[in-house]
Amino acid sequence: MKNETSSLLFEGLEEKTPIRRVAANVVIFSENERYVNHVVELCNSRIVNHYPLHGEIAMTEWLGGTIEIENRKAYHIIKHADGTLHKQQL
């Protein structure tokens, strides 16, 4: 049984649609909304849920660094040794 909040986020998804759970040091939703040590759940590369990371969670990929959310899509921001940034869609 899904709780009321997640049922809104998962609306339109089939019951067996795989969810990818990733975590990072920082998750940025907007200039004014950022979270430290946070988990993002993705389905078909679109964010369907997010919540604080309070401990180790089974089946969660630790990406480290920063995840940036734009239009419900998640991007891992990777900083290279030379200072350049690479943005990779999750």
| CATH code of residue 59 | 2.30.40.10
In terms of Cα–Cα distance, which of 54, 59, 56, 53 is closest to 39?
53
Structure confidence by residue, pLDDT tens digits, 20-41: 999 999 999 998 999 999 999 9
Q: Which residue has the higher pLDDT, 51 or 6?
A: 51
Return phi, psi of residue 56, to 5°. Answer: -70, 130
Q: Which residue has the higher pLDDT, 81 or 16?
A: 81
Whether 72 maps to a domain, the answer reads: yes
Structure confidence by residue, pLDDT tens digits, 33-66: 999 999 999 998 899 999 999 999 999 999 989 9
Q: Which residue has the higher pLDDT, 31 or 5?
A: 31
Cβ(71)–Cβ(32) under 8 Å? no
Which range of residues forms the domain containing residue 78? 18-89
Return phi, psi of residue 84, to 5°. Answer: -75, 150
